[in-house]
Structures are given as C-alpha cells and as structure tokens.
Structure 1
Amino acid sequence: MRTLAVAALLAASSSSSPLLLADGFSFTRPSAATVDHRRRHCHPDAPSSSSSLQMASKHKSKVASRTIWAESRGFGSAGTTTLSSSSSVTSSASSSSGGMTFEIDSTQNQLTVTPITSLDGIVTLPGSKSLSNRCLLLAALSEGTTRVENLLESDDIRYMLEALDTLHVHVERDANDPTCVTVTGQAGPIHSPTPDTSLELFLGNAGTAMRPLAAALCMGNGKFVLDGVPRMRERPIADLIDGLQQLGADVTCVESTGCPPVTISAQKLDGDKKASISGKMSSQFLSSLLMASPLIDGEVTISIKDELISAPYVSLTIGLMKKFGVNVRIEGDMSGTPSFIIGATEKYTSPNSILVEGDASSASYFLAGAAITGGTVTVRGCGSDSVQGDVAFANVMEQMGATVTWAPESITITRDPTVRLQGVDVDCGKIPDAAMTLAVAALFAEGPTTIRNVYSWRLKETERMKAIVAECTKLGGTVEEYTDYCVIHPPKDNVLNDNVLIETYDDHRMAMTFALAACGGVNVRIHDPGCTAKTFPTYFDVLGSIAS
C-alpha cells in the first residue's frame, strides 16, 4: 500500500500557501519569479515578461490549479493532506512502492526517485492532451450537445475549459467523474460576450489551447487578447498569424517577436479563402487553421509551402474533424507539400458523445522503463488502432532490442535480459514528444543514439534541445548538439552518475522522462516535480505502482 499519494502533494503544491503535512513540514510551489528564473537558466536571452506575470496574478486558477485535482481525488481538503510514515520525518517524506521509494524534500522543492530494479504491470493511460483540447473546441463549435469522456485532467485542459467558460460556452462537469464534461455547442463561430470591450484570455503555457483558440476566435465577432506565462511569450506563433491574415482575419502579435500576446479584432469571414503557410515549425499551426476553416462561409484551401513536420498530428486533427461531421480533402502527399480543402457547406455537428483516447506520449515512459529494466509493461488506452503518431515509439524500442506485442487498444513491451539495448539512428519528426524519452533510454544502450528531425524541441514548453543536452550530460552521457538533431553517447558501461539533480525548467516531460534514470540503479532528484500537472498529475504514483 502506498504510504503517500504523491499526486496529492505535488498537485496542491501550486498554492501560494504552503501545503501543510501531518509530520509538521510544508511544501510550497515556487513563485512565478523563481520559475521564470529557471526558464531563463535554459533561455539566457529570454525576457522576464513581467507584464505576463502581472496578468497571471489576476487569475486565481493560475495559483491554485493543481490543488483542484488533489481535492477532487479526496486527498485532503483546503490544500491539506495527511502523510503517514513508519518513521518520524521533519524535513522530508517518503512513499514506498515495492522496492523503490519517493523521497520528498519540501524545502528544496525536490522529489528523489530511488533506484528502480524493474517495471512490471499494467498502466491505464490518462486521456490524450492533444485530443482532449481538440474535442473540447470542436464540441464548442458544433451544432448540438456533446459528452466528452476520458478528458485529461491537467493544466492545459483546465485552461481551455476556463477559456470556454469566459466565452460563455456552456460546459457542464460530471459531478461523479471529473474526466467527463458535456458541452453545448455554438453551432458556428464563438462571439465575444463583451462586444464593447476587449476580452482577455489567460492560457498559461498551453499551446494546445492558445493556437486553436487564436484561430477559432478570428472567425466570429469581438475583440480578444490571448496571453500566457513568460515561456508562452517565447513560443512562436507568427506562422499561424500569417495564415490567419491571409484568410482575412484582423489578428496580430503584440510584440515584434512573433510570439503571444495575440490581439484579435474579429469580424465574421465569408467568401472563398486561400492561405499558404510553413509547416516546418509546428503542425499545430496547420491543425488550428483546419479546425477554424469550417467557420468561414466559403471554400477554404490551406497549402503547405515547404514541408510538414509531425504529420500524424495533422491526420489526427482531420480524423477528429470527420467525427464532428467535417470532411477535409487532401491534395498531394502528406510527406511533401500537400493542400487541404474544406468545402463551403462543411459544418460541425455533434457526434453526441466522444471518448478521448489514452495519451500515447505518456505511454512512452512506461514502455521505455520496461525496455531498460527488462520488465514487462502493458499500457492500455492506445494500441494498433490508435490515431496518435506517438505509438510509433514502441517501434523504436523494438529497434533497440525490446519485444513488442500489439493489440487494438494496448501495447506490451518486455526485453530478454540477455539482449542489450542497442543505440539507434531515428527520424523522430513524427514523434517529437516521445523522442524525449528516447534520449534517456539512449543512456542505457550500447553505442550512440541519434535523434533526428526534432527542431520543434526548441519551441516547446522549454528549449528542450538545450535542456536534454544539459541533463543527459549531468547523468554522465556525452551529447553532440546540432540544429535539429542530437547524438547521445551513453556513459561508460552505462553507469550513470548518482544523486543527480534534474532541472525540469517547468516542463512536464523533462520531469517524467528523467525520472527513468533511476532505472540505472541510481537516485535521481527531480526539481519542481509538480510541473507534471500539465499533462499527468498522477505520474509518480503510477510509476511507483509498477516499480520494484
């Protein structure tokens, strides 16, 4: 039995007040200024974005967002939970699961993952982040009422839900299941509920909310300002803005950096429209334009003028649009410079209910853990029938030496202990999020691993290329960094440095990925583990439940 629900502690740690524990110590989420300082450690040229911090302070949900999930699971109330332990603890706490433990140092905002011998078990995945926010938006734009099930419980989805509330889109939460909501659609564009004043939407660091909402709100009527945390002000959106302007939208970036804040003066668009955009930076720009296009009274053609990265995410978007009644015609090869046509009569219609598939990116941690340790792990929620490109990560583990068994809705991985993992050379352009997990798995391989076509790492929640180079180096690896790829050389005999402090840069995937370094028989200290609330608040609990 777990002695500590790790998610409860980490989820509640975002409150401005310390989280009080039974053993007499507190755990306080770092201030926004501290988080910004750590971002600047990885982005030395980044501005502090004080105005964004001021805007953030207006939103109580920004401060207490992670507490909500702790309380919803019954882990205490009012930001308080009880810690039980067989030993007396004054400045740290531990949670044991099998042969491993989590040790939490509240004063340093750190969680230590002790050595993991093996990962064995079955993991039911939380809902996909990408699918969750797409489903919410399309439900809001549809005619009819849509029940969305298995919605991911995370910061990104919460920002989308809060934005829909602010826009007066009716969303009813299921009292018995926080992963289910019912959305009453607008049967077309979303119009501002305050037509005479500019409406501000704070979207944190949620790119899956910022980009689709920026596009969709251009198609109705009203004035809007979309902003987020300091890192959001470093994440490019200029290609999307350019595409929207080509369609006739009045939308700009406030700063000259081509990043948020985004200002919109929307007037209903009609007539046939065409836009040509770059697909090299992010597939989310194309997905956002595609989802907004049926709101225009006319035929819309969106063309890619160079190359399209992360094409599986675009296919995911098109497939989801079809479930909501909209067909997208594709001309050309998705691996080249395709064009996408949305007919003038295409309109969103509710499918009545939709189930969000399990998150394939989150599956990568458990699949890699089994491959590294030689355990056997089954992830449920995505499999051979998945619409998500990140399931291809399992194929990479197979290339390295693991054994993979596919089922329509699950993937099982194990490794014969007599077979060593081998370094690989992989184009990860279609699996950029899961590719982060490959970086840590590479530390346990024989020979170097080359991770190619991941320029998008530089545009994510943090500058992931630099972050991965820094943290892999701390663990004893040697990393060659290039513009859009890196080569990771494992440490001698795959012996990792012990008790390394992993900086997460407020990036959820850095925390989850580098926790797997404990599979090397070493202690790993994770700084700011609460950042996992962005996509997987219960990650450390789930990891602990299958670890020994």
Structure 2
Amino acid sequence: MDDFQFRPSFIQLPAFTSFNGEVRLPGSKSITNRAFLIAALAQGETRLHNLLKSDDTRYMGEALQKLGVRIDFSDDYSEAVVEGSGKPIAVDGAVDLFLGNAGTAMRSLTAALSLGKGQFTLTGEERMSERPIRDLVDALLTLGAKIEYLETEGYPPLRIDASGLEGGEVHVRGNISSQYLTALLVCAPYCKAPLKIHVDGELISEPYIRLTLAVMTRFGVEVSWPASQPYRFDVPHGVFKTPGDFFVEGDASSASYPLAAAAITGGKVKVVGVGKCSTQGDAQFAKVLESMGAKITWGNEFIECEGPKGKLRSLGEFNAVEIPDAAMTVAVLALFADAPMTITGIASWRVKETDRIAAMAAELRKVGATVRESMDSITVTPPEVLQPATIETYNDHRMAMCFSLVSLGGVPIKILDPACVNKTYPNFFEDFSKLAK
C-alpha cells in the first residue's frame, strides 16, 4: 500500500456554528486488522470488503506481505484477496518488521509470529517504545515462546525466535490493554493443545474482546466464555476457515465525531456504515449523546443524530470503560455541557498513542476549560467563553479529530500536524469541512 507522504504542519479551521448532512464512514480499523491477520492464518482464500486504508492497516498489510502472505489489493485498497495457508507463519531466516505506532499490529503479531518458525524483529516509531507489552510477553513465555527485549525491558522493540506455542493454561492481566487478550485469542487455535486463558483482575474495553470473538466466529472458531467464570476463555485447537467474503463495518469510533458535531450545533447528521447491529462497542457512543439531550435514530446500517437547541446536559460522572476511544469525544463534548463532567475508567488512555489524559487536559485548558486529572479520570468544567487556540496533536489521530469539534463553538482552531489522522481516518478533514458551516 502506498505511503502517506504529505504532512502539512497545520490546518486552520474557521469559526463554525452549524453541522448538517450525511457521512459514509471509513471501514473499522479494529475489524480490518483483525480480519487481515485471521485471514492470513485461515485455510482458503478470503475476499475482504470495505477495508480501511490508513497508516495502521497499511503497517499490518505490508507486514503480512513481507512475511510471505499473498494479499492482492484492489486499485483503491478498499478490497483485498488474502490467500491463507491454514498454518502458522513460517519463514527461512530472519525478517524485520517496522510497525509504526500501530499497537494492534505490534501486539497481535507478537503472539501470532510466536506460533510459527523463523526469527522476527518487530520495531516501530519512538512512541511504540513507550507502549507496554510485558504482560503479553510474559503470557507467551509461559507457553514456550522465545522473546527478547531489544532496548527497554517490558517494551518494544522485540526479537522473536519462533518455534510454536504449547497451549494448556495461561494468565494475563486485563487492566492495561485489551489488545493483550485479543492477541492471545487470535493465536490460540494454533497452539499445540487447546488453550484456557484466565484474565486476572479487571477486563477493560470488553467490547473490543467481543469484537475479536465475533471475527473469530466468522472464521469458524467458537470460543467458550463460561457465564460462571466471566474472565476465562476456552479456545479449541483448530484452524480458521475462510468465510469466503468478509465485509468490514464502518468505523464506530470515527462515527463519534460527526455525531458529536450535530449534538454540539443543534444540527442533524446521518452516519452510514454502522448501526444497531454493530459489533463495535463505540457504537454505544450514540446513547451517550442521547443522555446529553440529542435525538438518536438507529437503522441497521446508519445512526442519525439531531442535536438539542441550547447546551448539552452534563452527565455528571460518566464511566467510559466500555468506550475508551469514543470517550475522548465525550471529553470535548464537556466543553458544551451545562455543568462540569467527570469521565472515569480511562486508565488505558495513559498507554495509547500518547498519554491521552495529560494531552487532553493540556489542550482543553488552552480553549478555556478548567481541568482536573487523575491516573484514571478527567474532570472538565466548561468555560464561560471558548478561546481560540493552537492545538498540539502529539502525533495522535484522536486528538486532531476531537479538537476539530471545538471550532463548532464559533471559535477558530488551528490543528497542528493534521496528517496524523491518516492512522484511522485519512479523509476526516475533507468530510468535516463539507458539513461544517
């Protein structure tokens, strides 16, 4: 897939006051990357549709191609044919993979490559070396993996000397990142014996685990999740089998921005590509808007939001553990609420593309808010009057998209490094500008 080379230093958004229209969402990053990897491990040819073309999915696709997986893309990269072998990935010699800041790719490939044979070096951007991976590596080591930290203990880059994973039972903590559990689930069918995964402590971002299980089911592997033991997953020994065609839903996290824009301005927006049957947890962001006073209409493949006239209702205290990505949009919505809001359950923000709690607090203060932060929460008191500001994005796509919404409060906003949205939504500013007035 071709690179996103052009990176303008900023984009200046004028003062907007309305937002109306229809947006067709890009494909889900989370589903695209899960489908890529599972299709590569599956037996048979899989035709993937509505793929997201972004930095993160490019890193996954290119890594799999470099590992010898045949992936034929359509001219616009919205579709691909993946030829799976039904076996773990094996190579002769050594392969070096650069994964940018794609955490899903780093963590899932660390597990998947341990299943096969070969020596693999996994590196990424500077921020990747600050994103923890110890809990996943420790779990894989108990299954017989050979993994070495190349710089700092507990963090990428890594070297894997692969010779397969044993299966049996394994424990992993669930309160740092759901990506550790997703990585173990995806590789589990190819362990040498059935695998029981025990999650120690709280399981955060549970909807992302349900998403992983839904994709696995489409590829023929059913995971048992005993009701009496909610944090144990029993994965049978087996092989993923192609469903033939696999359609990627629109990205529910990306839907949060136009929906929130309608809520802020009292406008009306329809997002197409995700709806009431969505497998993505962030689709429930629409219910947050409903609680804040917006009118929501659900269809099978769309969500429509009509914003209230006047300020949004404060949620008081809101636990966002189920929607950690869309919760960033909630933090910006707090600027337009009728009272302060506290967002809790967001400890995972600390280990994302940047320290999102610190970054969000710093930028919210620039536009006039009073902000208090803790290790797993942020409290936002809206300002009497929004202030124009230059927003630092920290190479974090969600910071850029979230703070674009501030311009809808009638103040000009300058977004630095706007091309960081290439990670999940390359056409974001084009779509935003079409609907904003």
Question: TM-score under structure 2 normalisation?
Answer: 0.97
Unaligned runs of 5+ in 1: 1-60, 68-78, 80-103
Aligned-partner SS, 1:232: helix
> Structure 1 residues 332 and 252 mapped into 2: Cα distance closer, same or farther (>3 Å)?
farther
Q: Distance in 2 between matches of 1:454 and 1:287?
A: 19
Given that residues 116 and 164 in structure 2 are in contact (C-alpha distance below 8 angstroms), is that contact kept between their aligned partners in structure 1? yes
Aligned-partner SS, 1:171: strand
Q: Distance in 2 between matches of 1:252 and 1:362?
A: 36
Q: Distance in 2 between matches of 1:288 and 1:113?
A: 39
The equivalent residue for 1:403 is: 295
Letter of the 1:128 partner, please give it. S
5 Å matches for 1:187-226? 187-192=86-91, 195-196=92-93, 198-226=94-122
Given that residues 399 and 424 in structure 1 are in contact (C-alpha distance below 8 angstroms), is that contact kept between their aligned partners in structure 2? no
The equivalent residue for 1:6 is: none
Aligned-partner SS, 1:139: helix
Given that residues 313 and 339 in structure 2 are in contact (C-alpha distance below 8 angstroms), is that contact kept between their aligned partners in structure 1? no
The equivalent residue for 2:418 is: 529
The equivalent residue for 2:322 is: 430
Given that residues 266 and 310 in structure 2 are in contact (C-alpha distance below 8 angstroms), is that contact kept between their aligned partners in structure 1? no
Q: Distance in 2 between matches of 1:398 and 1:269?
A: 46
The equivalent residue for 2:49 is: 149
Displacement of 1:491 in angstroms is 0.3
> Structure 1 residues 490 and 423 mapped into 2: Cα distance closer, same or farther (>3 Å)?
farther
Displacement of 1:337 in angstroms is 5.2
Question: TM-score under structure 1 normalisation?
Answer: 0.78
Q: Distance in 2 between matches of 1:337 and 1:244?
A: 21
Q: Distance in 1 between matches of 2:29 and 2:260?
A: 20
The equivalent residue for 1:449 is: 341
Letter of the 1:246 partner, please give it. T
Aligned-partner SS, 1:136: helix
Aligned-partner SS, 2:376: coil
Q: Distance in 1 between matches of 2:41 and 2:113?
A: 11
Displacement of 1:419 in angstroms is 6.1
Percent identical residues: 46
The equivalent residue for 1:139 is: 39
Letter of the 1:497 partner, please give it. Q
The equivalent residue for 1:543 is: 432
Among 388, 393, 396, the residue aligned to 1:507:
396
Unaligned runs of 5+ in 2: none
Q: Distance in 1 between matches of 2:395 and 2:200?
A: 34
Q: Distance in 1 between matches of 2:165 and 2:155?
A: 24
Q: Distance in 2 between matches of 1:454 and 1:322?
A: 29
Q: Which has the higher contact order (CA 8 A, sep 6+)?
A: 2
Aligned-partner SS, 1:168: coil
Aligned-partner SS, 1:275: strand
Aligned-partner SS, 1:331: coil
Given that residues 364 and 394 in structure 1 are in contact (C-alpha distance below 8 angstroms), is that contact kept between their aligned partners in structure 2? yes
5 Å matches for 1:344-363? 344=237, 346-363=238-255
Per-residue deviation, residues 191-211 of structure 1 (Å, max 9, x unmatched): 12xx23x31100000012111
Q: Tell me if 1:185 matches 2:77.
A: no
Displacement of 1:547 in angstroms is 1.2
Given that residues 332 and 339 in structure 1 are in contact (C-alpha distance below 8 angstroms), is that contact kept between their aligned partners in structure 2? no
Q: Distance in 1 between matches of 2:419 and 2:36?
A: 25
Displacement of 1:383 in angstroms is 1.0
Displacement of 1:398 in angstroms is 1.0
**Structure 1 runs (4+) greater than 6 angstroms displaced:** none
Give the root-mean-square deviation of aligned CA atoms. Answer: 1.5
Which shifted more, 255-264 or 311-320?
Answer: 255-264
Q: Distance in 2 between matches of 1:423 and 1:312?
A: 21
Letter of the 1:247 partner, please give it. L
Displacement of 1:400 in angstroms is 1.1
The structure number with the bigger radius of gyration is 1
5 Å matches for 1:151-300? 151-175=51-75, 177-192=76-91, 195-196=92-93, 198-270=94-166, 272-300=167-195
Q: Distance in 1 between matches of 2:312 and 2:66?
A: 53
Displacement of 1:213 in angstroms is 0.7
Among 202, 212, 215, the residue aligned to 1:317:
212
The equivalent residue for 2:223 is: 328
Letter of the 2:142 partner, please give it. Q
